[in-house]
Amino acid sequence: MPLPWLQGVNGSAPKSWECGFCRRRSRREDRIVVTIDNSRAGYQRLRFCNLECLRRLLTLWEEREGKLKCVGCGEHFPPTHGRQKYHDEACRKRTWSRSQSTKERRGVNHA
pLDDT of residue 14: 56
Whether 4 and 15 share a structural domain: yes
Residue with more model confidence, 89 or 35: 89
Domain count, the chain: 2
Tell me what pLDDT residue 110 has. Answer: 57
Domain extent, residue 81, equals 66-111
Is the pTM higher than 0.85? The answer reads no
Q: How far is CA 88 from CA 25, 68, 70, 98, in A?
A: 39, 12, 9, 16
> Does 70 lie in the same domain as 33?
no
Between 66 and 84, the more confident residue is: 84
Task: Quote the mean pLDDT of the chain.
Answer: 78
